[in-house]
Structures are given as C-alpha cells and as structure tokens.
Amino acid sequence: MNLAYYQAGTRFIPARHQAALLLEYAHSQELDSDALLRGTHLFERDMLATDTRISPADYLRLLANLKAALNAADTSFMLGQLLLPGHYGNLSHALLQAGSLRQALDILITYQAALSPLLAPHLAMHGDTAVLYWTDSCIASGQRAFVVEMMMAAVAGMTRWLAGERLPWQFRFNRTRPSHIEQYAVHLGSALRFDDYLDAMSLPAAWLDKPWPRGSAMAVSAALAAVPEAERCRSLLATLYDYLLERVRVAPTLEQVSAAFGISAATFKRHLAAHGTHFQAELDQVRAHVTLQLIHTHGYGNEQIAAWLGFHDANNFRRSFKRWTGLTPSVLREKLSQPGT
Amino acid sequence: MPTLNRSALALACLLLVSIFCVALYATLGVPKPLAAWKWMDIVSEGGTSVMSALWVLLILAGRPGGRVTWLLAGGLAAIMLGTWADCMDEFFIVPKDQYWDNWLEALTPIGMLTLTVGLYFWREEQFSLNEHMQKRERLFRDHRSFDRVTQLANADYLRRQIRLEQKRHPQQEAALLLLDINHFHLVNREHGAREGDRLLQAITHLLLLNLRPQDLVCRYAGDRFAILLPDTAAAAAGETAAHLQRVVALLAHHTREGARIEVSARAVCAQAGSSPESLLAELNAALEATPPLRMPAARFA
C-alpha cells in the first residue's frame, strides 16, 4: 500500500490551482486582493507563478479571509461551482471527459490531494444506494461547515453539468439546520437532512454507470497517464482512514499503525494532535461508518455487528456506538427509517 | 478614496480651530483656580463637542458630497466649536468688556439651525430615494438584508415580510411567486461569474419593470427570485407568473463580449397562507418537480 501522505502544513498545492480560483472570484466580487491574502505569506504576483506551492493550512486561511471579507451566505456555494472540474491541467481534462459518475468520483477520490485537499471523499455502497461521504483532512473546526458546503456544491455542480441533468442527490449534514437554508435549497436541492452523523451525498446506485454525454474513455486514460504518480497521495488522516477501514475487524493499535507508517508512535501522535484529533477518535470514526454501512446494506442487528467488529457482546458494542456517535444503534435505526426533510 | 481624504482634511481643520480657540482663551483670558472648575460642566460641554466632531467625520465619510452633506456637516461643526468655546469658559475668565467669546458661543444655536435645515432637505432627498427603492423594500428597511449583486433584499427579509403581511392583512389573500432561471449554471460555467451577475442584474430590472408598486422582489438565493404579491388571488398570481416567464424569454441579453445568451425561466406560485418556511419549502419542491428541458447537446461543445 502507498503510504505517501501530506499534512496540514505541507506545501504541495500549486498556487495557480485553487488559490488562483479564489483570487479570480475575489476580483469578480470587487474585493481587493490584500483582503484575500491577509495573514498568508503570499503575494498576488506569486499566485500565477508555476513554482509557488501553498499548504492546506494556507488554503484554509484564504477561504476564511474570503468568507469574512465578502460576508455573503452564497460564497461557499459559488466557490464550489468554480472548484470542479477546475483548471488543474490533466486532472481537469480527465474529469471533463469522464464517461460516468463512477469514473468522475473515482478520479476525485484517487486524486484527493489535488482536487479536494481539505476534505477527503469516500464512496461506499449502502445497499442500493451510493454514498459519497466526506471526512476531515486538514480542517480547523470552525471552518468545517463552510468547506463541506463548498465541496458538496462542487460535486453537485460538476456532476449536473457533465451529466447534462440534475442528479437526484440527497444530502445529509453533520450540523444543525443553517439559517441560510435557501442557499442549500437553490444550489443543492430540497432533499436535505441536518443533524446527521455523516456529511454525505447519496443517490441510487444505478446512476453511477449511466453514460455521460461528453465521456471519452481514451481521453480520460490519456489525461490520467500524464498526471505524475506523486499526485496520487492522500492526506495523513485520509491515509489513516483507508488503512483502518481495510483492517477494521482487527482494530489495529497505535503502535501497529505507526510502524506501518514508518514513524514512531510518539511522532504519529504528535502529527495527529497537530490535526486536532487522536488515534482513538479516528478508529472510532471508521468503526461508526462501518456500522452504518452494515445496518444499511445487510440490516445487521447489534449482535451481528458486534461479532463482525470483534466486540465481546452486543451490550459492549451498543455502549461503544453511543460513545462514537452520541446515539444508540436503535435510536439511529429509528432516525434512518424516517424520511428526510 | 476621496471621502477618506475629505474626512482627514475636516479632522485637521477641526483640530486646528480647536487649538486656536484654546490659544485665544489662554492669551486673552485669565485662568480660573483649580478649585473653581466645575467638573460636570467640563465633561458635558467637552463631551458634546467631541461627539459633534465625531458626527461631522461620520457624515463626511458616509455620504456623497452635495448640499445636504454640507449643511449637516457644517451645522455639526458649528455646534462643536460653540460647545468647545463653552467648555473653555470653564477654565478661563474673559474680561467683561470683551465680546468675542459670546460670538463664539453663539455658534451653537447657529449650528443647530443649519443642522435643522440640513435635516429638512435630507428628508426630501429620502423621499426621492424611496421612489427608487420601491418594489425592492416595503414598510421597513434593513440595510444588512440587501444583496450586493442585485441590490434586492434577501430571503431573510422576505420571510419577515411574509409574516408581516399575514399579520397586517389576515383577511386578504397574498401570493408568493418563485422564479428560477433555466440553466443559469451554464452561464457561469461558459461566461464566468461576472457575466452571471450581469444577467442577474438584467433580470432584476426586468422584474422590477413588470410589477406593481406594492409588490416586493427579493433575491431568494442564486438564480432564484421570490416575489411577494399582496392582495392577489390565485388566478391573478398565476397570470403574473406566466407574464414574467414571457418577458424573461423575450429578453435579448448580451455578454460584454457581445455573445447573445438565451434566457428562459420557470415560475411557480402559491397563496401565502402558511408559515414562510413551509411555504418556501413547498414552492422550492414544486420548482424541482418541473425541471427545465434538457439543453441541446450543442450547448455542451
């Protein structure tokens, strides 16, 4: 497995990618570039230079500046429209020619570092439903809602454009109902649910393989072949997530995982702390997500899930699940059976 | 920015004149002993003076130039100097045979008179501005609610207006109309967000021109407009919806580069009987249930 990963302070994002888009949007809103670049080491002339790289932390700072300076409820949604397919060279070409939703999402997930450096997308099948859910990569807690809005609007906007029709996405948010609900309604649609455990967008799995009008398999493989292998890396947290997801049934320890990452347990702990999290929280998140998938896909009861995840008994699992998500599995099942509003 | 320079210039002038005033009192007057200082008077007169100076700066920084601005700022400046002279009186005794200090203090009533005249003309100015704001606001103003692109009020203002209309005229039927531009996202994709904003501005003007004085147009979000039609039955609201769709379809909009953009819109309406939230949710769902026709493939090239 490829364990190359980036952290919040790693400077690897070309400034002429996302940062240049933010600058262009700031200009279109008649905002001074100083207001956008405040508090970063960047200058306007750097943005279009080919060798300037920014870190996810810089990117977050730019977003925070833009949000504060424009003070408009639609900023995240408008930025989302610009971000995908974006102007990222071959990766954008590949997205533009994607033959189907599945292929587009596959590119998005594989090249997360370039396309969505702050938030890691994951695709899971919950029964007949395809669920695209997002986990933190490098986010300061106050900005999560903004970045989630932005990335969901980016994917919804791109897929609507490339499919030539609005896809029947249903959205769930790990946040309370926002006061600017109208922006959600217009940019994402009416199928919204708040106070959910996941930040996710889902649709019937049949849509994944419906051919898209501009699709060209040859163009996609040619474009992807030209993308450097180094761009396939994921964030530290996303890499950890994928690693734990594969081994969720044995619940690896911090020591085992840090050995696999090739660093000491102490260093690994420090890296996680720098991202505002710790090992147990990440493991619990993965186990909670797997539980949701087991409930949706197989309709497992507590006994079966406990056995699958390697718990001693159902009670033990029930208590743990409550600790992970704040809900007992039965309350969650009840919530899931209610139609979304 | 010229307004900032103007404020800086005014601040410098006010400071100079105040210092000159102090110097005048210090040279021509006799200082009072500390025991004779009346602190209450010093604080209230000095405070009034400082506040008036602040108001002058706020007026100059916040308003375009012109007669009303000069009257307001001039009046406040005179009040500032008058009260400042009053305050100096607390520190110095001016000999009785000198009258210049009385003239200085007389600036306060003169300033008040000027300010009053200024406020009178400001009211007239406001009436003509209100005419411009017609159909963009009703009954109350909240500057935080205005959208920067279209200068229309936002969804929050709309929800408050619906509630207000239901409370003020519970017997009357009011209608709410939502209008959505078809394939607007393609305009942003193909021509950029700036052109998208220009199209929204054009549609805004078109809607304002085609509505009654008592109607209210809001930018709900994105490319979706909400129109509150007070005292309107369902049939009339339906006609208005159809009419607005027709005029939008007739619009010959061109980008700055001269490309023609075909525009069309969908509109739905309902009687504003329920709460604004459920009413808007219902109308949004109705709009989604009638998706626009698919764009011809040529648009994709």
What contacts B188, CB < 8 A, 6 or more positions away? A81, B195, B196
Average pLDDT, rounded, for chain B: 88
pLDDT at A157 over 90: yes
- Mutation for B interface: A162, A180, A186, A188, most B CBs within 10 A: A186
pLDDT at A33 over 70: yes
CB A123 within 8 A of CB A130: yes
Q: What is the pLDDT of residue B158?
A: 93
Burial A181-196 (b: 16+ CB within 10 A, else e): bbbbbbbbbbbbbbeb
For the residues B54-83, what does the mean pLDDT come to? 91
For residue A147, give both structure tokens: 């970045």
Among candidate residues A36, A60, A39, the one with its CA nearest the CA of residue A47: A36
Q: What is the pLDDT of residue B140?
A: 74
pLDDT at B65 over 90: no
Question: Distance between CA A155 and CA A149 in Å, rounded?
Answer: 10
How many C-beta neighbours within 10 Å does residue B1 have?
A: 7
Instruction: Using an 8 Å CB-CB cutoff, list residues of chain A that contact chain B.
Output: 25, 28-29, 72-74, 77-78, 81-82, 157, 160-161, 164-166, 179-183, 185-187, 189-190, 213-214
- Mutation for A interface: B150, B160, B179, B188, most A CBs within 10 A: B188
For the residues A142-156, what does the mean pLDDT come to? 94
pTM: 0.80
pLDDT at B30 over 50: yes
- Residues B161-189: tens digit of each pLDDT: 999 999 988 888 899 999 999 999 999 88
Q: What is the pLDDT of residue B299?
A: 44
For residue A68, give both structure tokens: 């504060």
Share of chain A above pLDDT 70, in %: 98
For residue B161, give both structure tokens: 């207006």
Rounded to a whole number of angstroms, the distance from the CA of B277 to the nearest CA of chain A is: 10
pLDDT at A119 over 80: yes
Helix (H) or strand (E) holding A234: strand A234-235
Name the closest residue on chain A to residue B281, using Cα atoms.
Answer: A190
Q: What is the pLDDT of residue B159?
A: 93
- Residues A275-325: tens digit of each pLDDT: 889 999 999 999 999 998 888 888 888 888 998 888 888 888 898 888 888
- Residues B93-143: tens digit of each pLDDT: 888 888 888 888 899 999 999 999 999 999 888 887 877 777 778 777 777
Spell out which residues of chain A touch residue B280, defining contact as CB-CB under 8 Å.
182, 185
* Residue that the structure tokens 């805004």 belong to: B204
Lowest mean pLDDT segment, chosen from A46-50, A257-261, A294-298:
A46-50
Give A241's pLDDT tier (boundaries 50, 70, 90): very high
Name the closest residue on chain A to residue B181, using Cα atoms.
Answer: A186
For residue A128, give both structure tokens: 């007949």
Q: What is the pLDDT of residue A34?
A: 87
For the residues B251-266, what does the mean pLDDT come to? 91
- Residues A211-235: tens digit of each pLDDT: 999 889 889 999 999 888 777 888 8
Name the closest residue on chain B to residue A165, using Cα atoms.
Answer: B294
CB burial of residue A9 (10 Å; 0-12, 13-18, 19+): exposed
Share of chain B above pLDDT 70, in %: 95
pLDDT at B296 over 60: no
Give A2's pLDDT tier (boundaries 50, 70, 90): very low
Rounded to a whole number of angstroms, the distance from the CA of B4 to the nearest CA of chain A is: 17
For the residues A333-339, what does the mean pLDDT come to? 72
Is B154 an 8 Å CB contact of chain A? yes
Lowest mean pLDDT segment, chosen from A85-99, A269-283, B118-132, B278-292:
B118-132
CB burial of residue B111 (10 Å; 0-12, 13-18, 19+): buried
For the residues B2-14, what does the mean pLDDT come to? 79
Share of chain B above pLDDT 90, in %: 54
Burial B152-173 (b: 16+ CB within 10 A, else e): bbbbbbbbbbbeebbeeeeeeb
Count how many Cα atoms sit within 13 Å of the Cα of residue A178 in the half-sphere of its side chain.
18
Among candidate residues B224, B256, B233, the one with its CA nearest the CA of residue A188: B224
